[in-house]
Amino acid sequence: MAEHYPPYVDGDVLPMHFYEAVQKGIAKDFEIIAGTNENEYPYIIPVYFFITK
C-alpha cells in the first residue's frame, strides 16, 4: 500500500494549504511543478551502491 504525505500547513513555512491560496487569489501567479516519484527507487539503489563501495 502506498503511503501518502500531504502538505503540512504549519502557519510559518507553509501558511495555508495551496487550494486555499488559489481560492483567495494569492497563488494566481505561482508556477507549479507536478509529478510523481513512484518509480524513483530502482534508479537510486544502483547509485547508492556505486558511491558507497
**What pLDDT score was predicted for residue 12?**
92
pLDDT for residue 18: 83
Domain coordinates of the chain in residue numbers? 1-53
pLDDT of residue 42: 67
Closest C-alpha among 2, 1, 53 to residue 45: 53
The pLDDT of residue 31 is 82
Specify whether the CB–CB gap between 43 and 37 falls below 8 A: no
pLDDT tens per residue across span 9-49:
999 988 998 889 889 998 888 787 777 667 666 666 666 66
Name the DSSP class of 8. Answer: -
